[in-house]
Amino acid sequence: MSIVYDKSRGLLTLETDASTYQMRIEDHGYLEHLYYGPKVGVSDMSFMHRRYDRGFSGNPYAAKFERAFSLDTLCQEYSSFGVGDYRIHSIGALHSDGSRCAEFHYVSHESKAGKYALPGLPAAYDNGGEAETLIVTLRDPITKLTLRLYYGVFPRLDVITRAAELINEGTEDVFLEKAASVCLDIPFGSWDLLSFHGRHCMERQPERAALSHAVQIVSSERGMSSHQQNPFVILCDREANEDHGDCFGLMLAYSGSFKAEIELDQFDSVRVVMGISDTQFRWKLAGGEHFFTPEANLAFGDGLTRLSHIYHAFLRNNVCRGEYKLAHRPVLLNSWEATYYAVNENRILALAEQAAALGVELFVLDDGWFHGRRDDNAGLGDWFEDRDLFPHGLTHLAKKILAMGLQFGIWVEPEMVSEASELYRAHPDWAFQAPGRAPMLGRNQLVLDLTRDEVRDYLFDAMAKLFRENNIHYVKWDLNRSLSDLYSPAWEPGRQGELGHRYVLGIYELLERLTAAFPHILFEGCAGGGGRFDAGMLYYTPQIWCSDDTDAIERLAIQYGTSFGYPASAMGAHVSASPNHQTGRSTPLNTRGIVAMSGTFGYELDPGKLTETEKQEIRAQILRFREDEMLVHGGRYYRLTDASKQLPYVAWQFTSEDGSKSLLNVVGRHSQANAPLIHLRLKGLDPKAVYEIAEDGSCLSGAALMYGGYTLPLLTGDYPAIQLHFVRKQAIREDA
Ligand code: DGJ
């Protein structure tokens, strides 16, 4: 039982292997948050919450003689609005009488085996029969707005999920102006905020700073989770490092505009509220209607490494779905950096043939193949081949590629439309555009109104036809601009504030239909690289193109930052040409291979430009990746150095869960004369076992490797890289 109810004290306790989460139905009916942190069992944690009369922290009328009781100081499961809690609110609700006050009182709760689902939204699922669900129902005593708080408990994984449902039990419309997924109060400790910012071509860079007495906001208003901020934040103890220290993660499974607000209040208590961004949000909730928030995944770990391991296992096993989630991912060659828009039948067939000769398993035809597409100014929306480029059709091309022993994959950007397209000419009103205002263009394209059923139906039919007729094995689902001009004639004026969220629900519905109709297709998410890299997308696409920056040295920092929350099996990573097209940097093929092998692995270059020696090396890389793939994708990821700092080298390691195998990766960023020796202290090994280093046959004990460290040879030359395999040979006898 991971959910325990102590009726006499009104305590609800959620327990995982290493953490405890506790709340209390307190005497005035509020749902008080008592504790989340290292495991304390079911002990009553209310002693932590001593109440004092605090100046300018008022008292609810019903408690008017209790000057020490104030919503302004009470830790809560879902903070109220307008009734005396001046910290970050979780709810915004405008009622027909113009009032906005909202507070929730406990009504009932239920717990059950299994994990709740959320209609139309991605939600983690039970995978092994361990999850339990707690639903607490609360109600505003005046407006009768009902709130159901959902808690999913995954004991072995140390994850607690949260979501909220709002129900209008009245007859008048209510307008939701904010509906957070989670509110978490942490009244103890001193904390750093670790968040992941970035830009196109440099996503998810960790930034860690002590909380100050201000509200900090990590958010996106771009209609997508964004390159600029990721919907994942960590609160870690000031002293926490990779190995030790309290670390809380809050990860939103949502792909649209989001907001995480973090406040250190006047009494040094921390509040985090996270959910859909309220900036452009206004949702009409008519009488009897329900609104579900996206899910937030909370985890607690001792040290940042442990926190990452929790999220990696959780996302792989309980969020990603489909045939590929744990399976071998085909090594691919993607045409983009080989051809850009200069594709045609002969060029693509030649590329595919060269790819097959290298041992590649899947050939991906990226952008440029469809009707009218010669550059990024035209064609989006017309998802059929350009006959001038492919005179025998795509089906013919696909057959030829399959006959080479390859699988065939294709790039699409379904959510977008070019003005120069048949689709736009037929349905100009299908693109978002505010009345009387010329829409913003991004890459010269417009955004399709996915809130409309007919638009999604068109896209489903167009995609299904494309996938079916061409025996598609893999789809790269791209998105290349931020959203703007959110206005749709399909919705009444009072509902325009729903469009951002309805758009995301539209993507989810479309992806749900397509992944269900084509279970054998491997879908890879993409948004100009990693602009929509989030747990919501991972529910539909088990891998996401990590970044449009394919420079191996830049990728060290990008993949490092991404690894805090997301597993290697989710990170699309390719070997590209040298000099690199984004940075002009030249790096050895070995280095590019080692960096890309820490993701889903593939190539994105023109094999026709390779020397025979390079081709040999690529063949060997592919074989090596196939051998290491399960260790990389399913093993434990250890960050051995901080790649966000300009250290001379970056090292990371994958170790199998049972400690029997480990893979060490090192890349030199700048070689130094007369450099100090590097002793890399490995992690996750069995200290009592002997490991053979496969590359040279030498043997060292796990203890020696972890406590003394593996001593690297001096790194010389430009961007050298080393990959070493450690294989457990035997256990050392206790008495040895
Ligand atoms: C952006 C993607 O991230 C690239 O990999 C490539 O597919 C281009 N779009 C094509 O337009």
Q: Of the residues 526, 532, 555, which should be mutated to test ligand 1's pocket, given the most ligand atoms within 8 Å of the CB?
A: 526
444-481 residue pLDDT tens:
999 999 999 999 999 999 999 999 999 999 999 999 99
What H or E segment, with its residue span, contains residue 408?
Answer: strand 407-412
The reply to whether 614 belongs to the active site is: yes
Q: Is the pLDDT of residue 736 over 50?
A: no
Secondary structure of residue 613 in the 3-state scheme = helix
| Position in ligand 1 atom list of the atom nearest CA 366 | 7
Compute the distance from residue 622 Cα to the ligand 1 centre, in Å: 23
Q: Is the pLDDT of residue 232 over 90?
A: yes
pLDDT (mean) for 131-142: 97
Proportion of the chain above pLDDT 70, given as a percent: 99
Compute the distance from residue 373 Cα to the ligand 1 centre, in Å: 14
Compute the distance from residue 204 Cα to the ligand 1 centre, in Å: 18
Q: Mean pLDDT over all residues of the chain?
A: 97
CA atoms of 344 and 368, how far apart (whole Å): 9
* pLDDT band at residue 42 under the 50/70/90 scheme: confident
Compute the distance from residue 722 Cα to the ligand 1 centre, in Å: 30
Question: Angle CA(110)–CA(123)–CA(277) in degrees, nearest 5?
Answer: 100
Nearest CA to ligand 1 atom 2: 528
* pLDDT band at residue 268 under the 50/70/90 scheme: very high
Secondary structure of residue 500 in the 3-state scheme = helix
What's 30's DSSP letter? -
Tell me how crowded residue 83 is: count the other CB atoms within 10 A of its CB. 17
Nearest CA to ligand 1 atom 9: 528
580-612 residue pLDDT tens:
999 999 999 999 999 999 999 999 999 999 999
Q: Of the residues 202, 339, 411, which should be mutated to test ligand 1's pocket, given the most ligand atoms within 8 Å of the CB?
A: 411
650-687 residue pLDDT tens:
999 999 999 999 999 999 999 999 999 999 999 999 99
| Position in ligand 1 atom list of the atom nearest CA 545 | 3
What H or E segment, with its residue span, contains residue 267?
Answer: none
CA atoms of 252 and 297, how far apart (whole Å): 6
Using a 10 angstrom Cβ sphere, with 0-12 exposed, 13-18 middle and 19 or more buried, the burial of residue 417 is: buried
Give the CB-side neighbour count of residue 480, counting CA atoms within 13 A: 20
Strand partners, 272: 184, 262
* pLDDT band at residue 41 under the 50/70/90 scheme: confident
pLDDT, position 331? 98
481-506 residue pLDDT tens:
999 999 999 999 999 999 999 999 99
Nearest CA to ligand 1 atom 1: 528
pLDDT, position 259? 98
| Position in ligand 1 atom list of the atom nearest CA 526 | 3
Q: Is the pLDDT of residue 285 over 70?
A: yes
pLDDT (mean) for 379-407: 98
Please list, in sequence order, all residues whose beta carbon lies within 8 angstroms of the beta carbon of residue 394, skipping any fewer than 6 positions away.
Answer: 369, 384, 385, 466, 469, 470
Please list, in sequence order, all residues whose beta carbon lies within 8 angstroms of the beta carbon of residue 660, skipping any fewer than 6 positions away.
Answer: 686, 727, 728
* pLDDT band at residue 646 under the 50/70/90 scheme: confident
Pocket of ligand 1 from Cβ distances under 6 Å: 336, 366-367, 411, 478, 480, 526, 528-529, 545, 548
Residue 448: closest CA among 477, 481, 475: 481
CA atoms of 149 and 177, how far apart (whole Å): 18
pLDDT, position 391? 98
CA distances from 262 to 58, 192, 265, 304, 612 (A): 23, 11, 10, 19, 55
Question: Angle CA(728)–CA(731)–CA(736) in degrees, nearest 5?
Answer: 140
Which tokens is 682 given?
């490995």
Q: Whose structure tokens read 């100081």?
A: 73
Which tokens is 653 given?
């390691």
Secondary structure of residue 727 in the 3-state scheme = strand
Compute the distance from residue 445 Cα to the ligand 1 centre, in Å: 14
Under 8 Å between Cβ of 283 and 165: no
Using a 10 angstrom Cβ sphere, with 0-12 exposed, 13-18 middle and 19 or more buried, the burial of residue 468 is: exposed
Angular region, 612: left φ>0, alpha ψ -120 to 50, beta rest: alpha
| Position in ligand 1 atom list of the atom nearest CA 604 | 5
Under 8 Å between Cβ of 484 and 257: no
| Position in ligand 1 atom list of the atom nearest CA 527 | 3
Compute the distance from residue 337 Cα to the ligand 1 centre, in Å: 9
Angle between helices 612-634 and 589-596 (to 10 degrees): 20
Nearest CA to ligand 1 atom 6: 336
Q: Is the pLDDT of residue 733 over 90?
A: no
| Position in ligand 1 atom list of the atom nearest CA 529 | 3
Hey, what long-range contacts does 68-73 have (CB within 8 A, 24 or more apart)?
69/28, 71/30, 71/103, 73/267, 73/269
pLDDT, position 230? 98
Q: Of the residues 202, 332, 334, 336, which should be mutated to test ligand 1's pocket, given the most ligand atoms within 8 Å of the CB?
A: 336
CA atoms of 412 and 373, how far apart (whole Å): 12
Q: Higher pLDDT residue, 731 or 96?
A: 96
pLDDT, position 640? 98
Compute the distance from residue 198 Cα to the ligand 1 centre, in Å: 18
Under 8 Å between Cβ of 73 and 86: no
Nearest CA to ligand 1 atom 11: 367
Secondary structure of residue 165 in the 3-state scheme = strand
Nearest CA to ligand 1 atom 10: 367
What H or E segment, with its residue span, contains residue 336?
Answer: helix 336-339
CA atoms of 83 and 318, how far apart (whole Å): 38
Residue 620: closest CA among 331, 363, 202: 331
**The one catalytic residue among 126, 130, 192, 614:** 614
CA atoms of 331 and 351, how far apart (whole Å): 15
* pLDDT band at residue 204 under the 50/70/90 scheme: very high
Strand partners, 253: 295
CA atoms of 359 and 364, how far apart (whole Å): 14
Residue 182: closest CA among 114, 278, 274, 306: 274
Helix/strand/coil (H, E, C) string of 535-601? HHHHCCCCEEECCCCCCHHHHHHHHHHHCCCCCHHHEECEEECCCCCCCCCCCCHHHHHHHHCCCCC
Compute the distance from residue 527 Cα to the ligand 1 centre, in Å: 8
Which tokens is 722 given?
């080393």
Chain centroid offset of residue 606 CA: 31
Q: Of the residues 370, 380, 478, 545, which should be mutated to test ligand 1's pocket, given the most ligand atoms within 8 Å of the CB?
A: 478
Q: Is the pLDDT of residue 140 over 90?
A: yes
pLDDT, position 64? 86
Give the CB-side neighbour count of residue 562, counting CA atoms within 13 A: 32
The full DSSP string for 102-147 is B--EEEEEEEEES----TTS-----SSS--EEEEEEEE-TTT-EEE
Q: Is the pLDDT of residue 103 over 80?
A: yes
pLDDT (mean) for 428-436: 97
Proportion of the chain above pLDDT 90, given as a percent: 98
Give the CB-side neighbour count of residue 409, counting CA atoms within 13 A: 25
Residue 150 φ/ψ, nearest 5 degrees: -105, 135
547-570 residue pLDDT tens:
999 999 999 999 999 999 999 999
Compute the distance from residue 477 Cα to the ligand 1 centre, in Å: 9
Secondary structure of residue 508 in the 3-state scheme = helix
Give the sign of the dihedral formed by CA 231, CA 236, CA 240, CA 244.
Answer: negative
Question: Angle CA(155)–CA(160)–CA(163) in degrees, nearest 5?
Answer: 145
649-655 and 636-639 strand pairing: antiparallel
* pLDDT band at residue 732 under the 50/70/90 scheme: low
Compute the distance from residue 377 Cα to the ligand 1 centre, in Å: 14
Compute the distance from residue 262 Cα to the ligand 1 centre, in Å: 34
Using a 10 angstrom Cβ sphere, with 0-12 exposed, 13-18 middle and 19 or more buried, the burial of residue 608 is: exposed
Q: Is the pLDDT of residue 735 over 90?
A: no
pLDDT (mean) for 196-218: 98
**The one catalytic residue among 165, 382, 478, 534:** 534
The reply to whether 534 belongs to the active site is: yes
Q: Of the residues 340, 343, 548, 549, which should be mutated to test ligand 1's pocket, given the most ligand atoms within 8 Å of the CB?
A: 548
Under 8 Å between Cβ of 320 and 542: yes
Q: Is the pLDDT of residue 434 over 90?
A: yes
